[in-house]
Structure 1
């Protein structure tokens, strides 16, 4: 039996032509996440305090603090982990602190460093590059490492560009760029500043024979003007299309942003409603673009008499960020490492049994208590993959529970767009 349809081939061709621009936009602006590892935190240290042994120094510092508190089990209890969960998490965190206490390190030439004069900063920029090379050679370097250079505002623009130039040049002279190179552009207010940064990266790539796009950078969202522009639009939502492939992440700047809004110092926090609004804009802006998100920091440090309260606060804030889809944050002190990993590992270990069961059922076509859509299956795989990448879940556990290996897990969590649409 023949079926007659109302739309002709010419009608369908006309619709395809009308939507060509939309198809191109979805393909180029929203490629999705590439499936590579994202660190759970970024540690910031002033440039003049960075040494190749910094990760080892931080490991010893947090170990001493944990010992003073009665051990890792005592800290887990202090921050509210149930004994059963703590028994699962603590050995994993102990191993993490021993082998990889810092996942991402940013050597700071901005607020944490200040103005030391051009001669001193020139020397420090080159020294930082040489020390990164030394740290990598000695096995001390974190998986991700780089610098935060000064902003592209008029007063600091030339200095920031010169520091970046010297840093990249010295790395190239001393063996090349580390695989996990990370560069951070702070205090961004306009799209034009990001476009200028991308132009600088292009010039540096040409000068050093690097492939186009090798130098990517993070944008710090620290000004209200980037969230809501002067004409009512949202500049942060324009960034991905303005410099395709250049931006690796958006990092929320807790205190600069709060101060710019006039929030009293006592109430400046990454859980303030104003912070949540800004981060909501950030989350919407990068959805599907492959640009990662990072939450900000807390300046309540776990030292002295405030250690216990600060640990509780930090663990709660880390968990809060994870639940809201921000899988990375800033840490400013060695003692924050223990609560970063306790809270992060608890998040993944708590969710692992349900996630693995639902993922297994979905892969086998079984009908369980929850009927998951393909998008939710991707989210389940993404959750498990993040747990694997940070060390909270082992590859062997995934294989035993779901029957898949890490490569398959990556493919499930981050399928190409044409596969998603099919």
Structure 2
């Protein structure tokens, strides 16, 4: 869920992306294979700080920063390059016979069970989920059949509920009834397969993601809100489907871009509803992939991907889709570079906010900038999550322990903690 005044970001990183791949391609080896390909791309096309600086347009005078960034990206690619993985039974799967899709759904369920069995307590294991077909009249039966076969195979193979954070993505939503149909089917599967709610919460084990990619999202006031409510507590996030949205709005293909004005309008609508319902908002993919031939083409693709990530961040979206293993390099590079660039100013301002809040508390006044302070805390958290700063570096910069800053509400810290002194 998004961070706000009353919910500190915590120490556990939030996914910065969702990696999409066709269901016919997924095996328990897929995450490791994708990680290997991403490392190969980094080592081949940015083998040293100079090449990395060139790839991300850092300039020849930024070699020290490029070295730190490249080292951090390499560590990330070694440890946990994929943070959230979606097994796709829609566009990435294509047109199949019923028999082929039945087999793929059951295979995916067993593969998910095996993936989690190999690392049941691994905090770095990616979240997992599936995208089904739309719940329109023409594809509804097929979508629900795929869902049932995949979840049933998963639960039986694992002899356990779906893994933590498991989600079903519903594409091309047009009406609340489509979302309600999916929620009804998940309720039935919970009963039939005895899937319990996760401990410590009221939310069901299987969440729903809504793909915002049809004109009603923009044309009908309250449409997105109605879709969220139709999920009956299962909605976890809103995802932008930019290219289907633009096609539906008759934007020519050569003008279809992730940051087309129609996409920005959809983002603003999504962000407003997500803030109301405390959901995450996930951006769509960069269309131009970082593929060859040759290093210049790879670098151009990385720069375009990083540019899109920066622009999404400027609108308040901190995660997006990735479609190719080479994009794992630019995803984590852009994430590190943005967090590194934002940290010093955020930490300085946050230290000042804690000092001001402590003074206000001593004289019985209320500090009115708690929301701004909480936003800065989230900026600091992102630097920790991506490895741009350590907990010790955060404490030195802000003047309070990182665990205190990131796990307690700002106003509570201001009332109870010893305020930071001015930096030496």
State TM-score, norm by structure 1.
0.83
Task: Report the counterpart of residue 7 of structure 1 in structure 2.
Answer: none
Moved more, 269-278 or 196-205: 196-205
User: Does the 8 A contact of 1:34 with 1:290 survive in 2?
Assistant: no
Q: Does 1:100 align with 2:80?
A: yes
- The corresponding residue for 2:354 is 363
Q: Residue in 2 aligned with 1:388? A: 384
How far apart are residue 316 of structure 1 and its match?
Answer: 0.5
Query: In the aligned structure 2, how far is the partner of 1:33 from the partner of 1:41?
Result: 21
In the TM superposition, residue 69 of structure 1 has moved relative to its aligned partner by: 1.9
Contact 2:26 2:87 in 1 (8 A): yes
Aligned residue for 2:146, secondary structure, equals: helix
Aligned-residue offset at 1:31: 11
1:33–1:289 Cα contact (<8 Å) kept: no
Specify the alignment match of 2:106 in structure 1: 126
1:57 aligns with 33
2:227 alignment partner in structure 1:
239
Change in 2 beyond 3 A, CA 1:57/1:40: same
Q: Which residue of 1 aligns with 2:332?
A: 341
Separation in structure 2 between the aligned mates of residue 196 and residue 286 of structure 1, nearest angstrom:
21
Q: How far apart in 2 are the matches of 1:357 and 1:206?
A: 52
Shift of 1:151: 0.9
For residues 367-382 of structure 1, the aligned pairs below 5 Å read 373-382=369-378
| Counterpart in the other structure of 1:412 | 409
Task: Kindly report the root-mean-square deviation, in angstroms, between the aligned alpha carbons of the 2 structures.
Answer: 2.6
Tell me the distance in 1 between the aligned counterparts of 2:217 and 2:142.
22
Q: Does 1:250 align with 2:238?
A: yes
TM-score by length of structure 2 reads 0.83
Deviations 1:316-340 (A, max 9, x none): 1011111211111011101111111
Q: Distance in 1 between matches of 2:166 and 2:411?
A: 22
Structure 2: distance between partners of 1:296 and 1:392: 25
Q: Does 1:68 align with 2:59?
A: no
Change (3 A) 1:390 1:189: farther
Alignment correspondent of 1:167: 150
CA distance in 1, matches of 2:168, 2:210: 9
1:277 aligns with 2:265: yes
1:79 aligned residue (56, 59, 69): 56
Structure 2: distance between partners of 1:390 and 1:167: 33
- Aligned-residue offset at 1:244: 4.2
Query: Alpha-carbon deviations, 1:3-49, whole Å to 9, x = none?
Result: xxxxxxxxxxxxxxxxxxxxxxxxxxx99768575310011000111
Contact 1:189 1:225 in 2 (8 A): yes
Q: How far, CA to CA, are the matches of 2:275 and 2:81 in structure 1?
A: 30
Partner Cα separation in structure 2 for residue 61 and residue 88 of structure 1: 21
SS of residue in 1 equivalent to 2:316? coil
TM-fit CA distance, 1:365? 2.9
Bigger mean CA deviation after superposition, 307-316 or 405-414: 405-414
Q: Which runs of 5 or more structure 2 residues have no equivalent in the other structure?
A: 198-202, 360-366, 413-424
Secondary structure of residue in 1 paired with 2:352: helix
The separation in 2 between residues aligned to 1:267 and 1:213, in whole angstroms, is: 40
Superimposed CA distance per residue, residues 121-154 of structure 1 (whole angstroms, 9 cap, x where no aligned partner): 1221121121122222333984211111111011
What is the CA-CA distance between 1:191 and the residue it aligns to? Answer: 1.8
Q: CA contact under 8 A between 1:85 and 1:350: conserved in structure 2?
A: no
Cα distance between partner residues in 2 of 1:88 and 1:248: 34
Q: Which runs of 5+ in 1 are unaligned?
A: 1-29, 416-422
Structure 1 equivalent of residue 278 of structure 2: 290
Deviations 1:220-278 (A, max 9, x none): 0111112322xxx2301333344342110000012111111111111111111111111
Aligned residues: 381
Whole-angstrom CA distance in 1 between matches of 2:262 and 2:322: 21
Q: CA deviation at 1:295?
A: 0.5
What is the 5 A alignment of 1:192-341? Answer: 192-209=177-194, 210-211=196-197, 213-229=204-220, 233-305=221-293, 306-341=297-332
Mapped contact 1:32–1:288 kept (Cα < 8 A): no
Moved runs in structure 1, 4+ residues, more than 6 A?
30-34
